[in-house]
Homo-oligomer: A and B are copies of this chain.
Amino acid sequence: MRQDAVHVGVIGCGVVGTGVVRCLRDHGRYLARHLGFPIELVRVADSAARLRPGLRLPRGLLVRDAAAVLEDPHIEIVVELIGGTGKAKDYILRAMRGGKHVVTANKALLAASGPELHRTAQRHNVDLFYEASVAGGIPIVKAIREGFVANRIDSLLGIVNGTCNYILTRMTSDRLEFAEALAEARLNGYAEADPALDIEGIDARHKIGILSSLAFGQWVPQKHIHVEGITRVTARDIMCAAELGYVIKLLAIARSGPAGISVRVHPALLRAHTMLATVGGAYNAIEVNGFPVGRTLFYGRGAGMDATSSAVVADIVDVARNVGYASHKRLPAFTFVERQAPLLPMAEVETKYYLCCTTVDRPGVIARIARELGDRAISIASVIQHEPASGQSWPTVTFMTYIARERNIRDAVRAIDRSGVVKDSTRIIRVEDETEDRATSPAATHTS
């Protein structure tokens, strides 16, 4: 084992970079004792070369040009924190080709170019770590690729976008409409000036793409992940869901079954008393179901300087350990299984559904809608008819179905919307209550 320092260079000193630099400084003594050798931050490259208030660096440490990190022969670990799929990719590839290990928080890049980055790491015999790319405060990448290495992962259900969860939590607690909650989120710093990546579900799609690829051992391309954001969720949907004992969350879902793998991001109804449903504000949570481990859940902050820097520094320490013990590549960036399962298109997915119809006010309406469902082998679990909402002239009817195929639901909704009994397009929200049974039943074997 070596005694001298492992040298680290950071590219990008924004919010997360600042947190990482601070953490390495404040926690350095403990880390050195833990590792047996120090981690030395030798260069920070930031194109603006400006530091956040309160952050001081020794003279000469801060530079403008990333090349000063990439070309420094002393630097063994490059930490990429600029984000995006442009320059960041170039920097990471150059670092790895130069024999440097890489730690990144870049979910967009990993989601877009995971296999290429992985192959490059393999070819150049370097480590690629990315814990901070998904749910920074939760060591979920480590849990899946190390803690659950003995398991077949059957499903992941995640609340992985803090902005969406904050907005939906506010819509639920204060009966706000989406636009009001979004405005509030922006005001309080929980949404970007351009929040599209978050509220359209794209950020969540990046994250579930990374997690599902890890969990299933095969690459899940972004284009195969169905995505719907939260922009069309209404206060009325949330109220109707509550009436049925459910809350609405933006879920990132990955399931592996006999027919194949399905990965998707969309708003979903969850039973109100389950753990995932309890996750409020900007927190994240990921449920992992595996065999033999059973049902597990991880909860913590998803983003922000603190949570993300915790994950980045943990990765730096892991890689530094590998540098110190010359054990790099002991953990492959991704492990791909031999037999790749088919990726199911959304139309083939089977789940439960909530349908909300604004109907005309005349006899036979429910019967007509029920017939369209029944004709497509969709069984109804419950129906509630509401008085017209305040300011509206038409009553609302909500249906909860048993498990049905998405294709059939879409067919039925088209037929219902053409039937003349509804005044508006039928809204559908998928229902995820399968975890319920496992949540309340005690573990299967003897316990202590």
Residues of A whose CB lies within 8 Å of any CB of B are 1, 15, 19, 23, 27, 30-31, 33-34, 131, 137-139, 142-143, 146-152, 161-163, 166, 188-190, 192, 197-198, 203, 217, 273-275, 278-283, 290-307, 309-311, 313-314, 317-318, 321-322, 324-327, 329-332, 335, 337-338, 439-448
Contacts and interface: CB of A to CB of B under 8 A. Distances in A.
Q: Most chain-B Cβ atoms within 10 A of its Cβ — which of A33, A327, A329, A448?
A: A448
Contact of A304 (B23, B298, B445): B445
Given A33-B337, A139-B146, A293 B302 contact: no
Contacts of A310: 148, 150-151, 290, 292-293
B146 A447 contact: no
Contacts of A146: 139, 142, 314, 317-318
B302 A299 contact: no
Contact of A307 (B139, B275, B294): B294
B163 A448 contact: yes
A295 B301 contact: yes
20 contacts: A138-B296, A139-B147, A147-B314, A148-B310, A161-B448, A162-B448, A166-B447, A280-B440, A281-B442, A282-B443, A294-B300, A294-B301, A294-B307, A298-B298, A301-B443, A303-B443, A304-B445, A325-B325, A326-B327, A327-B330
Nearest to A335: B34
Contacts of A217: 30
Query: Shortest 10 CB-CB distances between A and B: which pairs?
Result: A139-B147, A162-B447, A327-B327, A304-B445, A281-B442, A150-B313, A292-B306, A296-B300, A325-B327, A293-B310
A27 B151 CA distance: 8
Nearest to A151: B310
Contacts of A444: 304, 306
Contacts of A166: 442, 447
B325 A330 contact: yes
